[in-house]
Structure 1
Amino acid sequence: MMAKQKYWNGSSWEVIGSDAGKVDVTDSANFYAGSNVEGALAEIGAGAMRQLRTAKSSKDANGVYTVVEYRRKTDNTLFARSTLSGGTAPQYTTRTINYYSTNGTTVLKTDTFTINYDSDGDWVSEV
């Protein structure tokens, strides 16, 4: 077990990070409304419960939809868009997910995954 780090608050020693409300969050993309870890974690939990609507588009000749959009049910703004690309259909090599701010147009984050297939050509993982 590691020793806990402490700081002097002017009148007593306090353990660093003992209260999530005391740990500030630096968020240059303005992804979170809260300014500390406690607030950000509450928003993440609420986000996991978010009601989303799913729509697929861009169906290829093999019947694979290459674009999936997730929209907020409350205002129909875009939450995330997943796009398959690269390779030869139906074995796409890349999946890109863009996550959008509450306005539905500003990209907050992009995740890119390499798609792996087994010897039968079935999709088995993303890394």
Structure 2
Amino acid sequence: MPLFTPKFYLKKPTETEQVEPRDYNDNLDAIDNALTEHFADRMAHFECLSLYKLDKDAFGVFVELQWKRENGKLAKRSVFSRGTPPYYSLRTDTYYHEDGVTAKVIKTYLLTYDQDNALISEVLQ
């Protein structure tokens, strides 16, 4: 019985097993699909996205940022909230699937400031 890798669940034959062509091909298909999804997603390649700044508050801070793909569909949205403007204490980042509508991942960051009100950290929650 083969062993499996932890992330992509690829089949690994034991030391006493022969490599089966079907298992080998299944592994290659799984790797190909993972790479195809990664390159299509472009989440890791923000230089390929356009940035839009929205909803400027009374202090001139944009409380929403949107990154859009070349086709105009939303890739990422950041919203600043909580705290006392313009020193927001929370940033919520939403990453979107290729359709630009369906959320894939949501991450929140706690923002902290020093005594001069300079942003000093954004800690993932």
Do both share a fold (TM > 0.5)?
Answer: yes
Structural mapping, 1:1-127, within 5 Å: 7-8=14-15, 10-11=17-18, 22=27, 35-36=30-31, 40=34, 43-44=37-38, 47=42, 48-49=44-45, 51-73=48-70, 75-127=71-123
Paired letter, 2:30: S
The alignment covers a number of residue pairs equal to: 103
Gaps of 5+ in 1: 13-20, 24-33
Runs of 4+ in 1 over 6 A off after TM superposition: none
Query: Which region of structure 1 is more displaced relative to structure 2, 81-90 or 50-59?
Result: 50-59
Change (3 A) 1:113 1:22: same
- After TM superposition, give the deviation of residue 49 of structure 1 in Å: 3.7
Structure with greater helix share of residues: 2
* Secondary structure of 1:92 counterpart: strand
Give me the TM-score of the superposition, normalised by structure 2: 0.69
The change in CA–CA distance for 1:107 and 1:9 in structure 2 (over 3 A counts) is farther
Q: Give 1:124 shift.
A: 1.0
Cα distance in 1, alignment partners of residues 104 and 93 from structure 2: 11
Secondary structure of the residue aligned to 2:84 is coil
**Residue type matched to 1:40 in 2?**
A
> What is the TM-score when the length of structure 1 is the normalising length?
0.68
State the SS of the aligned residue for 2:83. Answer: coil
Deviations 1:58-80 (A, max 9, x none): 1001000000000001x100000
2:108 counterpart letter in structure 1: T
By how many angstroms is 1:94 displaced?
Answer: 0.2
Q: Deviations over 1:79-109 (max 9, x none)?
A: 0000000011011010000000000000000
Amino acid at match of 1:70: W
How much has 1:53 moved relative to structure 2? 0.8
Measured in 2, the distance between the counterparts of 1:96 and 1:9 equals 50
